[in-house]
Structure 1
Amino acid sequence: MKKYFTSLLTIVLMLSLLPVAKAETEYPPYNDPIPFKDMQGGHGASWDIMFLYKKGIIGGYPDGTFRPNEPITRAQASAMLLKALDIPVQENPTVTFKDVSRQSTHYRTLATINELGIMRGENGFMRPAEQTTRAQMAAILRRAFDLPLEQKPMFRDVSPAHWAFGDINSAALNRIAGGYQNGTFKPGNPVTRAQFSSFLARAIDDKMKLPDPISYVSQKGIVVEEDGFQYTIKGEKLVKINKKTKEETILLTEGDFPTQDGLFEVHLETGFPIIIQNGMIYVPYWAAVSQGTDMPYRYGVFQTNTQGGNDHIKYWDLNEWDASHSASMRNFSVHGFDYYYTVEKKVRQFDYNPTFDDSVNVDQTLILYHKNPSIVDPIKVMEFDARVIFERLEGSTRFSTNVTQNNKSVKFDPSTMFYFNKNGVFSYSLLDGKTKKLSSIQAKDMTLTDATVEIIDVNGKKHSLKK
C-alpha cells in the first residue's frame, strides 16, 4: 500500500475541513483624509482610528498629532470607553482616590468607570498615568461589553494560571484581539493608542472584527475533552462521546486504514495518546510491529478531524523525510502550526531487545526536531539527555508491549519542553530557546499542571516545582 504523505502545509490546509464562518472584512468607506498629521503616511490601524474619530470617541492632541505608537494610559482608556458605551460621567461622585484629586480633569471619568466595575483601583490608587497592558486591556473590554469569561485556551503564553486567562480567551474568541505569529499573546506588553483603538472598534462593531480565531494550544492525553465532547481510543476504535447525553460515535476503526503486504500496523489501540487542536485529531501510531515479539519498530502520525470518516485520514510519516527518524520518533507535540518531536541519536532496535519498559533507567541522548509549513525539512533544535523510561500503554490487552513510544522523562506544555535526566529536572523554552535547571532531583516520573511540574523521585517521594 502506498501511503499518501502530506507535508505540514497540506496539514494546515486541512483546517479548511472545519466549519468556519466567513469573516466580515469590509470597513466603512471613509473618503475623508485622516486628520492627524503624524498619520498622513498611513498606519495599520488607520481605519479603526477613523471609525472611532467619526463617532466622536477619540481625538488627537492639541498639536494635531494622534501619537499612535504611544502607550495608552488608564485615564485615556477610561475616557474612550465611556464615550464608546455612551455613558455620561457622574456629576457628583463621592469615591476618593489617593492618587487622583477631585480637581483633576480625569477624576469624574475615573470615578464613573470605577463605579461601573469596568476598571477599578487597588488600595485606593487608580493609577491614571499607568500604561495599560494587553492583559489589562482584555479584562477591561470584556467587563465593559459584558462578554463571558472563556476557558478554552487560545495562546501559548497564557496558561489557566494567568490572572486574565478567561479575559484574554474571551477577547480572542469574540474576535476583538489576536496574537502574534508564534501563537503568543504577550499579556504583559503595553497597549499603544493605535492598538487600543483597534480593539475598541472591534468590540463596538462586528464589521470591524478579526477573522475567526485559531487556538494555538492543543489538548493531549488518553482521554481529551473539547467543546462538550470526549475523545479516546477504545480497542480498535477512535470514539467521540457527548458529555451530556453520553452518546458514543465511532469516528474511525482499524478497518478504515488500508493494509500493506508484509507489514503489521497498529493505528488504534486502547492507551494510545491523542492530540486535538482546532477540530483536528492527531494520533501517533505504530507504523510497523513485529508479529513475533509485539515490539513496534517504526512510527508515524495520522491526522483526521473530529467528524471522523476514513476519507479524512492524512498521514504524517517520518519515514518519508528521513528513514532514521521513523524508527525512534518520540513525544510528538502540536503547538498551533508548529510540530515538535524527538528521536534517539543512537537508534536502538526494540524489536530485538525486549527492554522497552520501565526497567531501563539510563540516560539516552535525544534530538528535538521542529517542523512547520514554512520549512521543507524538519529542523534540528537541540540535543539533550533524558531518562529511558516510557509511558504505560494503559488498558491494552492485545499486546505484550505495555508502553507507548512516549518518554515519561519528556513533557510539553504550550510553550515549554520539560525533561529530566541523571543531573536533575530542566525546562527548555520553545519560544526563546533558553534552558533552565529547575532542580537536582533524581526523577522517575513527571506530570504537568497549569503552574507546576510534579515530580516523583527515584525513592517515590513527591516534589512540586514551579514552572
Structure 2
Amino acid sequence: MKKYLISLLTLLLLLMFSLTTTAKAETEYPPYNDPISFKDMQDGHGATWDIMFLYKKDIIGGYPDGTFRPNEPITRAQASAMLLRALDIPLLENPTATFKDVSKKSTHYRTLATINEKGILRGENGYMRPAEQTTRAQMAAILRRAFDLPLEQKPMFIDVSPVNWAFADINSVALNRIAGGYQDGTFKPGNPVTRAQFSSFLARAIDDKMKLPEPHPYVSQKGMVVEEDGFQYTIKGDKLVKIDKKTKEETELLTERDFPTQDGLFEVHLETVFPIIIQNGMIYVPYWAAVSQGTDMPYMYGVFQTSAQGGRNHIKYWDLDVVDASQAASMRNFSVHGHDYYYTVEKKMRQFDPTFNDAVNVDQTLILYHKGTFTVEPVKVTEFDARVIFEPLEGSRFSTKVTQNNKSVKFDAGTMFYFNTKGVFSYSLLDGKTKKISSIEAKDMKLTVTTVEIIDVNGKKHSLKK
C-alpha cells in the first residue's frame, strides 16, 4: 500500500499515547525487562512483544503515569490514531468533513476526518462515535481496509456466519494470520478489543515476522461432494476419491477393501449416497457398521475418519471412542464443529424393516449428544422432536430407506435446525437457546448461506431467514 509522510499529531494525542521515544530497527524485539517497559506490564503480558514493537516505532504509547493499561477497551479515536501512525498517513491540514458528534475544535477532529476520508474507519449517519469501544468485528473490518487485504468468503469460525456484516473481513484477517479465534472455534465478533489485543493485531499486520501460524478453519464442509483447497472429495461406488479441480486428475484415497472385516458383521463404509465431512484436511464419513444381508437394513451406525491423503493406515473409527452399543444402533446426523462433534440418537429405539414408510407424519424424540476435545465421554445436550423421515438413497445398490441422516435435522456452523409437526426450530450450539422460526409443517429442508429452505407437506416451497 502506498505510504504517506507522517506529520505531528495534536498535543492531546501526544499526551494520551506518550510518544516520546525514537524508533529502532524493525527487526529489534525488546525483552520483557526492557527499561522502557510499562509499570503495569512488568510481569510479561502476553502481548508485551507486540506492544513494545509498536512503541519503539512511535505508533503507540502509554499514559502519563507510566502505565499502558493493556486490558482497557480501545476506543475508535485511539484505534484511528494508531492506524494513521502505522500507515504513515499525515493528518489533513484543512479537512472539510463534518460530524454530528465531533466538533471541528475537538482534538480528535483532524484524526477522525483523515481516517474517514481514507475510507479506513467511517461513521454512520454523520456520527463517528470517537469514545465508543471497538469490537472484534469492527477491528477486523478496519484492519482489512487499512492494509488493503482481499475479502475472503471461506468460513473460519463457528460463530461468524455469512449473514454477519463483517463475515468476509473476519475471514480475511484470520487467513492473513493477523487475528485468531478462541479454542472453542469462536471469534466472538461482538466482544470489545483491548489495547493489548489491538496492538497485537496491528503488529502482525505491519510485520510478517509477527504473524500467527498458518490458520485452520473451525467450520466443516458437508455434502455428497465437498470442496476444499482446490480439490473435490466424493464417494464413487465403493471408493473415496479426491479430484484436482484444475487438472481433473482423480486420486483414489480409500476403497472398501481397505477396511478390515469383522466376523458376523456385514459393514458398508463407502457408498455413493453417503455424505462426507471435511475439516482441516480430515475427512469424516458416517457409515453402516452392521447391515442385515437378508433385508439390506442397517442396524448399527458409525463414523470413520481419514486424512485427505488417504490410505488404510490413516483410518480411525471415531465411534469406538465415544459411542456405546446402544447409541451406535441409532447414531445419526453426525456433524463437526471446531474441535467438537455432535450427533443424535433415538430416545426410544425402534426396529426398521423393508416395509418402513417415512411418508407418514410421525415425530420421534431425538437426543443431541456432544463430544468435545477435552471430554472423555459424550455429553447429553438436549432432547427434541423431529420428523421420522430420512435422506434418500437414490442410486444406491441397497434398498433400505433408513440412512444416517434425517431430512428433519440440519446443521450449519453454529446452529442445528429441525422440524416436526409443530413447526421449524433452530437450536444454537453456542448458547443452547431454542427458537421457533415458523409454524410450517415441513417434509423437507435444505440450508443456504442465509436461509432455511422448506417444502411443506403440501409440496409448497418456503424460504425462511436464519
Paired AA for residue 285 in structure 1: Y
1:37–1:64 CA contact under 8 A, matched in 2:
yes
1:289–1:297 CA contact under 8 A, matched in 2:
yes
Query: Aligned to 1:131, what secondary structure does the other structure show?
Result: coil
2:361–2:421 CA contact under 8 A, matched in 1:
no
User: What is aligned with 2:441?
Assistant: 442
Q: Quote how far apart the aligned CAs of 1:334 are.
A: 0.3
User: What is aligned with 2:343?
Assistant: 341
1:319–1:326 CA contact under 8 A, matched in 2:
no
Gaps of 5+ in 2: 1-27
2:31–2:49 CA contact under 8 A, matched in 1:
no
The 3 A distance-change label for structure 1 pair 320 and 155 is: closer
User: What is aligned with 2:267?
Assistant: 265
**TM-score, normalised with respect to structure 2:** 0.89
Stretch moving more, 50-59 or 317-326? 317-326
Aligned length: 439
The 3 A distance-change label for structure 1 pair 93 and 70 is: same
User: What is aligned with 1:368?
Assistant: 368
User: What is aligned with 1:126?
Assistant: 128
Alignment of 1:44-123 (within 5 A): 44-123=46-125
Alignment of 1:249-288 (within 5 A): 249-288=251-290
Q: Quote how far apart the aligned CAs of 1:329 are.
A: 0.6
Query: Aligned to 2:405, what secondary structure does the other structure show?
Result: strand
Alignment of 1:236-315 (within 5 A): 236-315=238-317
User: What is aligned with 1:19?
Assistant: none
The whole-number CA distance in structure 2 between the counterparts of 1:412 and 1:44 is: 36
The 3 A distance-change label for structure 1 pair 27 and 424 is: farther
Paired AA for residue 68 in structure 1: P
2:32–2:48 CA contact under 8 A, matched in 1:
no
Show CA shifts across 1:226-276 (max 9, x none).
112211111111111222222222211112212223321111111110000
Query: Aligned to 2:274, what secondary structure does the other structure show?
Result: coil
In the alignment, does 2:166 pair up with 1:164?
Answer: yes
1:357–1:403 CA contact under 8 A, matched in 2:
no
Query: Aligned to 1:411, what secondary structure does the other structure show?
Result: strand
Query: Aligned to 1:241, what secondary structure does the other structure show?
Result: strand
User: What is aligned with 1:388?
Assistant: 388
The whole-number CA distance in structure 2 between the counterparts of 1:172 and 1:232 is: 28
User: What is aligned with 1:354?
Assistant: 354
Query: Aligned to 1:170, what secondary structure does the other structure show?
Result: helix
Q: Quote how far apart the aligned CAs of 1:442 are.
A: 1.4
1:270–1:394 CA contact under 8 A, matched in 2:
no
Query: Aligned to 2:335, what secondary structure does the other structure show?
Result: strand
Show CA shifts across 1:197-239 (max 9, x none).
1111111222322222221100001111111221111111111
2:298–2:402 CA contact under 8 A, matched in 1:
no
The whole-number CA distance in structure 1 between the counterparts of 2:357 and 2:301 is: 17
Alignment of 1:139-178 (within 5 A): 139-178=141-180
Which of 214, 221, 229 is the matching residue for 2:223? Answer: 221
2:162–2:449 CA contact under 8 A, matched in 1:
yes
The whole-number CA distance in structure 2 between the counterparts of 1:45 and 1:408 is: 47
Q: Quote how far apart the aligned CAs of 1:133 are.
A: 1.2
Q: Quote how far apart the aligned CAs of 1:107 are.
A: 2.2
Whose RCO is larger (CA < 8 A, sep 6+)? 1
Paired AA for residue 50 in structure 1: M
The whole-number CA distance in structure 2 between the counterparts of 1:195 and 1:357 is: 56
Query: Aligned to 2:171, what secondary structure does the other structure show?
Result: helix
Gaps of 5+ in 1: 1-25
The whole-number CA distance in structure 1 between the counterparts of 2:367 and 2:283 is: 25
Paired AA for residue 413 in structure 1: D
Paired AA for residue 254 in structure 1: E
Q: Quote how far apart the aligned CAs of 1:63 are.
A: 3.2
2:426–2:436 CA contact under 8 A, matched in 1:
yes
Query: Aligned to 2:115, what secondary structure does the other structure show?
Result: helix
The whole-number CA distance in structure 2 between the counterparts of 1:321 and 1:135 is: 38
Query: Aligned to 1:110, what secondary structure does the other structure show?
Result: helix
The whole-number CA distance in structure 2 between the counterparts of 1:143 and 1:375 is: 40
The whole-number CA distance in structure 1 between the counterparts of 2:269 and 2:87 is: 54
Show CA shifts across 1:298-322 (max 9, x none).
1111111112222211111358741
RMSD: 2.0
In the alignment, does 2:437 pair up with 1:414?
Answer: no
Instruction: Report the identity percentage.
Output: 86
2:300–2:328 CA contact under 8 A, matched in 1:
yes
